[in-house]
C-alpha cells in the first residue's frame, strides 16, 4: 500500500471508483511518504494528519461519488491559502498564529469536489521570492538534489508533488511562483488567466497579478485540479464574469482537452499549430544545457508538424523592472494591514502607537518582505510616482499590446521557464537583484494577465536536473494549453523519479 501515493492523480481516481482502495488508503500512503521525506525536504509547514484521516474515513463511509471529480484524492495547499480552522502562516513569523475561520474560494471548491487536504506547503514569506529560501520556517529542498532550491515561491508545493507526498497541490503565481518551481522540480503547473480563479481567502501580495493555480505530475492531473478551481466567485470582485467575454468564449472543457491531446497521436494535435517563438525570451542568456534541451523540444515539435513562427515582444526588456515596481507597490499597500494591532503579532515593549507599529513590523517581517515594502513605498511616494509607478503601468499596457499582436497570428507562445536549472542554496543570498533577474521569463505573463502552463522538457545533460518550458496562451484559452501540453508530454520521454529522496 505504501506506494499508492506515487500513482498519477488520474490513475488514483480510477482505482477509487473501482474500489481497489479507499480514500483512507491513499491518505495513509501520502502521510507515510510525508513522514519519510519531510526530514529532507521541509515542503510542509503543517501536516493535517488528524483532519485528513477523519475526512478520508468519512468519505469512505459514503463511498465513491461520480459527481465529485476529486473524490478521495489527497492534495495540498500553499500556506497562503486560507483553510478554516488551520493556521495560515504565509511562512511569516508575523502571522504564524493566524487561524482563519473561513475557507478560501479554492479550498471550498476542493472540499466540495471531494478532495482530502493533507498539508499546507512551505513558501517564500508572503510569496516573495524565487527559491523558497525566504521562509521563516527554513527553506524547502529540491527532491532532485537536496543541495538546491526547489524554485519559488510555491517551492513547497512543487517539491511535495514531485516527491509524491500528494497527488497535486495549489500554489499561487504573482510573477512566476507556480511555473518556476514546476520547472525546477519537474512538475506541471498552470498560472491561469487573471480573474479565472477566485482570490477570495488568499492572502494578497500583488492583487492585480496574483492567481491561484494547480501543480501536478502530469498534464491531465493538472487539468483535473484546474477544472475544479476555475470559475467565478462573487466574493472576489476581480473574478471574471465569463458570460461577458467579448466575442464568445474559447473551449472550456479542460479535462477533455487534456485527454484528447494525450490520446491522439501528437501529430494530430500539433500539425499546422502555430507556435510563436519570441527572440526576447530565447536570446536572454539561457545556459547551454537549457538551450540544448529546449532546442531539442523545438525539433520534435517541428517534426510533428507544428509551425514555429518568430514573434516579437519589443517591450519585454522592461518587464522585470516594471514587475518589481508594480508588484512591490501593491505589496506595500497590501502588507500595510499587518500592523500588530488588527493583524499580526504585537511587539511587547513598545510605548507610543508609532513605536508599536515600527517594533511589530520590524520584528515580524523578514528581510525580503521589508525590502519590498520599502521599494513599494518609495515608488508610490509623491515626487517619484510619475517616474516609476506610472512608467511601469505604461509598460504593462504596451506589453499587453505586444502579446495581443503576437497571439493574433499564433495560437500559443513557447519559452523556457528560467534561463537555468535549480541553483544551489545561497546563490542569490547577497544579491537580491540577481534573484529578481531569475524571474526574467515568467513575470511578463503576470503583467499582461495571460495564462501559462509549465511542463518539463527533459533533464539537463550536465546537471541532470529538470528543465521547464512554458506555453503561453490567449485570454481564457487554457484548454488550448492543456491540449498542446498533453501532446508535448507524449513527444518526450518521462523524466523518471527525483533522485534526491
Ligand atoms: N519571484 C517573484 C517575486 O519574488 C514572483 C513571486 C510570485 O510569483 N509569488 O516577486
Model confidence pLDDT, tens digit, residues 66-125: 999 999 999 999 999 999 999 999 999 999 999 999 999 999 999 999 999 999 999 999
1 pLDDT above the threshold of 70: no
The 10s digit of each residue's pLDDT in 261-291 is: 999 999 999 999 999 999 999 999 999 999 9
Q: How far is the centre of ligand 1, averaged over its atoms, from the C-alpha of 153 (Å)?
A: 6
Any domain includes 385: no
Nearest CA to ligand 1 atom 2: 175
Query: Does the residue 460 lie in any domain?
Result: no
Q: Which residues pair with 278 in a beta bridge?
A: 311
Structural domain includes residue 325: no
Residue 153, ligand 1, Cβ within 6 A: yes
Q: pLDDT by residue (tens digit) across 467-501?
A: 999 999 999 999 999 999 999 999 999 999 999 88
User: Domain for residue 402, yes or no?
Assistant: no
Backbone angle region of 248, left / alpha / beta, with phi > 0 → left and psi within -120 to 50 → alpha: left
> What integer is the mean pLDDT of 35-42?
98
Report if residue 316 sits inside a domain.
no
pLDDT in tens, 145-199: 999 999 999 999 999 999 999 999 999 999 999 999 999 999 999 999 999 999 9
Can you tell me the distance from the alpha carbon of 346 to that of 486, in angstroms, rounded to the nearest whole number?
49
- Site to substitute for ligand 1 among 79, 149, 152, 367, most atoms within 8 A of C-beta: 152
**Lowest pLDDT segment from 68-72, 338-342, 446-450:** 338-342
Residue that is written with C-alpha cell 466575442 in the block = 247
Output the domain CATH number for residue 144: 3.90.1300.10
Domain assignment of residue 132, yes or no: yes
| Closest Cα to atom 5 of ligand 1 | 175
Q: Which atom of ligand 1 is nearest to the CA of 324?
A: 10
Span from the CA of 128 to the centroid of ligand 1 (angstroms): 5
Q: Which atom of ligand 1 is nearest to the CA of 152?
A: 1
> How many structural domains compose the chain?
1
Q: What is the pLDDT of residue 336?
A: 96
Q: How far is the CA of 265 from the centre of ligand 1 (A)?
A: 37
Q: Which helix (H) or strand (E) holds 92?
A: none
pLDDT (tens digit per residue) in 397-434: 999 999 999 999 999 999 999 999 999 999 999 999 99
Reported as type and span, the H/E element at residue 45 is strand 44-47
If you measure from the C-alpha of residue 174 to the centroid of ligand 1, how many angstroms do you get, rounded to a whole number?
5
pLDDT digits (tens, 9 = 90+) for 228-264: 999 999 999 999 988 777 777 888 999 999 999 999 9
- Domain coverage including residue 66: 4-244
Q: Is there a contact between 41 and 140 (Cβ–Cβ < 8 Å)?
A: yes
Does 468 map to a domain?
no
Q: What is the atom index within ligand 1 of the atom nearest the CA of 446? A: 8
Tracing cell 479550498 back to the chain, one arrives at 107
Whether residue 85 lies inside any domain: the answer is yes
pLDDT at 2: 61
Amino acid at each position: 500500500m505504501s506506494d499508492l501515493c506515487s500513482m498519477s492523480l488520474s490513475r488514483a481516481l480510477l482505482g477509487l471508483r473501482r474500489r481497489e482502495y479507499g480514500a483512507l488508503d491513499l491518505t495513509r500512503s501520502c502521510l507515510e511518504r510525508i513522514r519519510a521525506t519531510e526530514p529532507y525536504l521541509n515542503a510542509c509547514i503543517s501536516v493535517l494528519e488528524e483532519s485528513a484521516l477523519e475526512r478520508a474515513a468519512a468519505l469512505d463511509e459514503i463511498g465513491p461519488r461520480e459527481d465529485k471529480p476529486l473524490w478521495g484524492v489527497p492534495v495540498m495547499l500553499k500556506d497562503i491559502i486560507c483553510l478554516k480552522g488551520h493556521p495560515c502562516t504565509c511562512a511569516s513569523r508575523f502571522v504564524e498564529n493566524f487561524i482563519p475561520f473561513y475557507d478560501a474560494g479554492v479550498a471550498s471548491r476542493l472540499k466540495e469536489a471531494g478532495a482530502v487536504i493533507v498539508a499546507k506547503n512551505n513558501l517564500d514569506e508572503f510569496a516573495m521570492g524565487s527559491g523558497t529560501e525566504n521562509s521563516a520556517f527554513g527553506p524547502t529542498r529540491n527532491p532532485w538534489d537536496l543541495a538546491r532550491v526547489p524554485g519559488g515561491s510555491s517551492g513547497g508545493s512543487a517539491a511535495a508533488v514531485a516527491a509524491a507526498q500528494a497527488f497535486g497541490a495549489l500554489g499561487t503565481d504573482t510573477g512566476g511562483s507556480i511555473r518556476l518551481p514546476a520547472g525546477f522540480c519537474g512538475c506541471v503547473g498552470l498560472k491561469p488567466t487573471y480573474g479565472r480563479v477566485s482570490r477570495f481567502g488568499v492572502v494578497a501580495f500583488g492583487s492585480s497579478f496574483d492567481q491561484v493555480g494547480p501543480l501536478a505530475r502530469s498534464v491531465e492531473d493538472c487539468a483535473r485540479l484546474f477544472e475544479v478551481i476555475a470559475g467565478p466567485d462573487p466574493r472576489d470582485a476581480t473574478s471574471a464574469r465569463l458570460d461577458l467575454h467579448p466575442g464568445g468564449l474559447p473551449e472550456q472543457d479542460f479535462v477533455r482537452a487534456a485527454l484528447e491531446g494525450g490520446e491522439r497521436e501528437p501529430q494530430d494535435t500539433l500539425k499546422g499549430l502555430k507556435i510563436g517563438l519570441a527572440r526576447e525570451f530565447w536570446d536572454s542568456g539561457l545556459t547551454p544545457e537549457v538551450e540544448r534541451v529546449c532546442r531539442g523540444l523545438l525539433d520534435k515539435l517541428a517534426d510533428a508538424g507544428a509551425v514555429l513562427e518568430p514573434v516579437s515582444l519589443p517591450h519585454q526588456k522592461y518587464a522585470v523592472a516594471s514587475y518589481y515596481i508594480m508588484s512591490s507597490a501593491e505589496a506595500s499597500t497590501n502588507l500595510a494591514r499587518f500592523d500588530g494591532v488588527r493583524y499580526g503579532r504585537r511587539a511587547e515593549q513598545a510605548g507610543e502607537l508609532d513605536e508599536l507599529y515600527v517594533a511589530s513590523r520590524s520584528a515580524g517581517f523578514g528581510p525580503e518582505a521589508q525590502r519590498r515594502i520599502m521599494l513599494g513605498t518609495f515608488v508610490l511616494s509623491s515626487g517619484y510616482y510619475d517616474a516609476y509607478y506610472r512608467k511601469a503601468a505604461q509598460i504593462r499596457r504596451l506589453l499587453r499590446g505586444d502579446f495581443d499582436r503576437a497571439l493574433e497570428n499564433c495560437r500559443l507562445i513557447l519559452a523556457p521557464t528560467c534561463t537555468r536549472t535549480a541553483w544551489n542554496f545561497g546563490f542569490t543570498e547577497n544579491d537580491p537583484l540577481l534573484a529578481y533577474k531569475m524571474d526574467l521569463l515568467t513575470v511578463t505573463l503576470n503583467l499582461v494577465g495571460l495564462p501559462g502552463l509549465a511542463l518539463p522538457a527533459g533533464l539537463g545533460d550536465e546537471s541532470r536536473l529538470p528543465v521547464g518550458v512554458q506555453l503561453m496562451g490567449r485570454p481564457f484559452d487554457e484548454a488550448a494549453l492543456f491540449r498542446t501540453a498533453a501532446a508535448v508530454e507524449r513527444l518526450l520521454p518521462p523524466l523518471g523519479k527525483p533522485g534526491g529522496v
